[in-house]
Structure 1
């Protein structure tokens, strides 16, 4: 009750209300030795229980409408997932339903039906390689040890930052070279199939656009960025049979991953709002095309609550 009272004082209702938007990605069935901090079903169940006890969880589109009108409830929060992982349906959805909570899934449409995110190609190449080291000298990344869990983790931490912000074509070429060098059998079931996304939507959950191939928009030609944003919207509308009004910027850091011109694009393309990944809370005077979100990660109730309260009071 003490924590809930603190959130109530920090986020009153009406015109001065604050909206906390949480962002998650995967919900794994069991802990991942390579990524022990990644959210699994047990951790997500605990986190969602705390969130639902302390906040009033509202569908994101509804919360944004309420915020614009000035009648957002006290302790308002929305839950989002990025990318379109299949485990959002198989593992996260039952937990959401059990807690009576809603969530919005931002989908990179190019990876539906057997596709794979570029970062997952890198991760799974390192995870599944039968080799004790990867020779990536041909692409200027040297020879990287991959024989142990610790070495695999170091290899991933080395490769992801050196790949993320490359121009799309260069990034794709580098990822393909890493995959080829690994000699690994890579999975094709990490992302949702179209029928799984439809099942998510039929369950009453929200869906938003997240581009087609998840490029870093700041490193993408503006016309290509427009196409990525527009095509993801139209593809989802065709698949789900309803208008898509929300957009999430890939990676989502302002000026680093997207710029103000991409926020203007979102408005021009007919989106109602767009979300980033900068910490903070949304308020009535916030730019609805650059709404902040943040990821809570602490695993104990006390620290988790303090992290949420710190974010709520940050702006």
Structure 2
């Protein structure tokens, strides 16, 4: 038995970023602390997983679980899909997606999300390990590149769409990344910008700090974050082309095959930053 591992299909500037984000030490937002803890756990998990696989642990564990009838359902999450050579840490090429699915089919049963829910309600019917494939946010690449692969390989999938994105509003984090990329590439003047935004741009120029910038933006109330992006965007125009969303026509067409569609909020906010009334 081969273990299922997470399939990620994840100019220096002189500005001092050691004091960024602007919160004092020991008082980082909850989202930042959670992101730091998640990175540490992920690194530890990968190390343990590699050592476990090296000594044949997964095969032994699978045999023992089969003897007990203890099978698992794993949710595998993707985001955007594109052609070979496309570069974005949350984008997987169609050819790589196909390789993933063929690998998974060798060791797992590939089922839809609705099938998984039904099986969890009747666990005795789960007679083998299963995997559910999902795609988040609702990028057009899911229709152009992923859907043909799912059809050809006979694999069901679920796409969770942000309805506001499909209606024409760009996802805030995609806009933020386009602005930050332009600000770093063009070395725009930072003097007139908010202190936190200056630090974010400086940190964004260091690849190892990009996740910290994302976590900081996620920790901000939506109104505050939108105000910062409104301040930054005019200084960065023109921006590179955004990643396009699915159309509702494409969603309906995919639903007629083995693609299930779920809701992923309207605008993809960080729910912990919203007031209770929302």
TM-score for the superposition, normalised by structure 2: 0.68
C-alpha deviation, 1:187, in angstroms: 3.4
How many residues are aligned here? 219
Aligned residue for 1:16, secondary structure, equals: coil
> Which segment drifts farther, 26-35 or 8-17?
8-17
- Matches of 1:160 and 1:115 in 2, distance apart? 19
- Of 32, 39, 42, the residue aligned with 2:92 is 39
- Counterpart CA distance in 1 for 2:133 and 2:95 is 17
Query: Could you tell me which residue of structure 2 aligns to residue 232 of structure 1?
Result: none
Cα deviation digits, residues 205-245 of structure 1 (max 9, x gap): 01111111111111111221xxxxxxxxxxxxxxxxxxxxx
Pair 1:123-2:214 in alignment: no
| Aligned twin of 1:90 | 144
Match among 84, 90, 105 for residue 52 of structure 1: 105
Query: Which has the higher mean CA deviation after the structures are superposed, 150-159 or 95-104?
Result: 150-159
Structure ranking higher on relative contact order (CA contacts 8 Å, 6+ apart): 2
- The residue that corresponds to 1:69 in the other structure is 122
Partners of 1:215 and 1:221 lie apart in 2 by 11
1:215 and 2:269 are equivalent in the alignment: yes
**C-alpha separation in 1, matches of 2:168 and 2:206:** 25
The CA deviation at 1:108 is: 1.1
Q: Which residue of 1 aligns with 2:198?
A: 142
State the Cα distance separating 1:93 from its structure 2 match. Answer: 0.9
Cα 1:152–1:32 change in 2 (3 A) is farther
Q: Does the aligned pair in 2 maintain the 1:145–1:155 contact within 8 Å?
A: no
Structure 1 segments unaligned to the other structure (5+ residues): 225-315
Any residues of structure 2 matched to 1:182-193 within 5 Å, and which?
Answer: 182-185=236-239, 187=241, 190-193=244-247
Distance 2:191 2:68 in 1: 56
Q: Tell me, yes or no, if the aligned pair for 1:145 and 1:151 is still in contact at 8 Å.
A: yes
Change in CA separation of 1:41 and 1:137 when aligned onto 2, cut-off 3 Å: farther
Deviations 1:39-88 (A, max 9, x none): 22222121121112211011011111111112123121111111111111
Q: Which is higher, the Rg of structure 1 or of structure 2?
A: 2
- CA–CA distance in structure 1, aligned partners of residues 186 and 211 of structure 2: 18
Deviation at 1:31? 3.4
Equivalent residue, structure 1, for 2:39: none
User: Post-superposition, which runs of at least 4 consecutive aligned residues in structure 1 deviate over 6 A?
Assistant: none
In structure 2, the partner of 1:181 is: 235
Q: Do the aligned partners of 2:188 and 2:235 also contact (CA within 8 Å) in 1?
A: no
Q: Deviations over 1:248-288 (max 9, x none)?
A: xxxxxxxxxxxxxxxxxxxxxxxxxxxxxxxxxxxxxxxxx
Give me the TM-score of the superposition, normalised by structure 1. Answer: 0.60
SS at match of 1:78: strand
